[in-house]
Structure 1
Amino acid sequence: MQLYLLAEKPQAIHQIATWYSNEWGYIGEGRSVGELELKLKEYLNHDKLPLIMVAFDKGTFFGAAQLRCHEMDIYPQREHWLGGVYVAPSSRGIGVGKALVEAMIEKAKALGVTSINLQTEDISGGLYRSLGWQTVEQVTYHGIDVLVMEKSL
């Protein structure tokens, strides 16, 4: 498995948009594959946010994670966010998610970020708790119960 910035593998945009639409399309407007493809073009960056890391091997994309600013409007003071962490079902349970999260943490550090936040529907904290993320609080956001977590870098 190799990890690349989306800027290095822009051909992944359609696959990522499809994953995101299928996984989180129920959340609201702007979640069609076409709308997400347009939005993901904003992530074609190397040295500034937003950006996406993709997992790739043998000609196949099988995971993605984002680093972006101000994800949840109820937390205007929380600037940097990990989001859009997705691993294709056939590649789950083998460390892809962990590798993506760790790579995004290293990229954030390289960009001078000192703290990252995330929201997850896994109220236990799951993978993130095992990687040292701390609970901020559990909230209902846009009608969905989520756990908000933070990691100091």
Structure 2
Amino acid sequence: MEIVYLSDYPQYAEIVARWIFEEFVKSIRPEVTLDMVLNRIKERNKYDMPVTVIVLEGNLCLGTVSLFNNDLKNRPDLEPWLASLIVSKEFRNRGIGKILVDEIIKIAKNRGYKQLYLRTEKAVDYYKKLGWDYIEETFDDIIGQTTHIFMKNIIE
């Protein structure tokens, strides 16, 4: 397995956009299209936020995760955020999610951040298992959903 910046492997932009659209956008943001997500993905690079990495095994893209300045507009005081962690269904339960989370932690640390945040509507137990600290439950007015905020100290 190899973790690489998506911007260095643009041939995987479409699959990553489709995953993000299906998992995080389609059911809660009907005004956002797959093409809009794909265009945003194609704009990313490895120097500016948001940053997106993927894990490859041969020619297969197994999963993705991103680092955002902010992933929850009603909490502008918190940054940066781990966002859009997805592992393709057929490759789950192999530790790939943790590998991707660890890579984003490394990237955030290399950029000088001391903490990293994330939000989740579905994976509370997963992030607790990975050692993230639960901060609070809040309501996201933009998507009209309750979400849970976690934090991780990343400076040793």
TM-score, structure 2 length as denominator?
0.90
* Conservation of the 8 A alpha-carbon contact between 1:2 and 1:56: yes
Aligned positions of 1:49-128 closer than 5 A: 49-122=49-122, 125-128=124-127
Distance of 1:19 and 1:104 partners within structure 2: 18
Matched with 1:36 is 37
Structure 1 equivalent of residue 153 of structure 2: 152
Hey, what's the Cα distance between the residues in 2 that align with 1:60 and 1:72?
Answer: 31
For this pair of structures, how many residues does the alignment match?
151
Unaligned runs of 5+ in 2: none
Shift of 1:34: 0.8
TM-score, structure 1 as length reference:
0.92
Identity of aligned residues (%): 25
CA contact (8 A) 1:48 1:111 kept: no
Shift of the alpha carbon at 1:151? 0.8
Question: 2: CA distance between counterparts of 1:104 and 1:30?
Answer: 29
8 Å Cα contact 1:78/1:117 also seen in 2: yes
Residue 133 (structure 1) aligns with: 132
**Distance in structure 2 (CA, Å) of the matches to 1:131 and 1:76:** 24
CA deviation profile, 1:12-55 (whole Å, cap 9, x unmatched): 1100111111112112145422111111123222x332101101
